[in-house]
């Protein structure tokens, strides 16, 4: 039983990495967070007790990413500024433009939008993963889409 659960977790690795990347915005940090989370989960003995292993794994990863964001925020110096993104927007591809706009969304909106539009989860599955009601997920999605459009327009 443990081996089948281990295999199921390993199969989620790519999805976990993409999810972490959407939250953290950095490929190396996403790789580290995914690896750390998988390592911790693979050491757990009670994995078989969870009803939805995928939701549990993504929730654990989300918590790990939030810890990394908090640490990053504590380490940032006030003098650090982002380069003027509106000047560089003309040179970016559409994909980079959307990625930048998504990075400007609040964390909850960014993660729900990623889970829905990129990973293809249903609102029911997302609600289970983030611990809220389906109606709340729909509201978050609506606000995220509206704000994403506004951010893309600002960057163009």
SS3 sequence, 7-33? HHHHHCHHHHHHHHHHHHCCHHHHHHH
What rounded mean pLDDT belongs to the chain?
80
Residue 22 has pLDDT above 80, yes or no: yes
Structure tokens at 101: 């706009």
Q: What does the alpha-carbon distance between residue 84 and residue 81 come to, in Å, rounded to a whole number?
A: 9
- Please give the pLDDT value at position 143: 94
- Please give the pLDDT value at position 140: 93
Residue 75 has pLDDT above 70, yes or no: no
Structure tokens at 84: 């003027």
Q: How confident is the model at residue 47 (pLDDT cuts 50, 70, 90)?
A: low
- 15, 62 in Cβ contact below 8 A? no
User: Mean per-residue pLDDT for 41-52?
Assistant: 75
Half-sphere exposure for 8 (CA within 13 Å, toward CB): 16
Q: What does the alpha-carbon distance between residue 30 and residue 24 come to, in Å, rounded to a whole number?
A: 6
Residue 98 has pLDDT above 90, yes or no: no
Residue 142 has pLDDT above 90, yes or no: yes
Q: Which domains does the chain have, with CATH numbers?
A: 1-79 (no CATH), 91-156 (1.10.10.10)
- 22, 118 in Cβ contact below 8 A? yes
Q: How confident is the model at residue 135 (pLDDT cuts 50, 70, 90)?
A: very high
Q: Which residue has the tokens 């790990």?
A: 64
pTM of model > 0.75: no
- Please give the pLDDT value at position 134: 92
Q: What does the alpha-carbon distance between residue 96 and residue 103 come to, in Å, rounded to a whole number?
A: 10
In the chain, the N- to C-terminal Cα span, in Å, equals 52
Q: 50: phi > 0 → left, psi -120 to 50 → alpha, else beta; which?
A: beta
Q: pLDDT higher for 83 or 46?
A: 46
């Amino acid at each position: 039983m443990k081996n089948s659960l281990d295999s199921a977790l390993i199969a989620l690795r790519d999805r976990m990495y993409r999810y972490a990347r959407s939250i953290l915005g950095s490929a190396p940090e996403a790789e580290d967070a995914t690896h750390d989370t998988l390592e911790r989960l693979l050491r757990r003995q009670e994995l078989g007790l969870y009803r939805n292993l995928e939701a549990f794994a993504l929730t654990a990863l989300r918590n790990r990413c939030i810890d990394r964001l908090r640490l990053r925020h504590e380490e940032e110096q006030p003098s650090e500024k982002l380069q003027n993104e509106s000047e560089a927007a003309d040179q970016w591809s559409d994909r980079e433009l959307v990625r930048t706009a998504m990075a400007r969304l609040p964390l909850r909106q960014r993660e729900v939008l990623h889970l829905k539009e990129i990973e293809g989860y249903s609102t029911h599955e997302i609600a289970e993963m983030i611990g809220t009601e389906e109606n709340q997920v729909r509201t978050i999605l609506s606000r995220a889409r509206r704000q994403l459009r506004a951010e893309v327009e600002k960057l163009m």
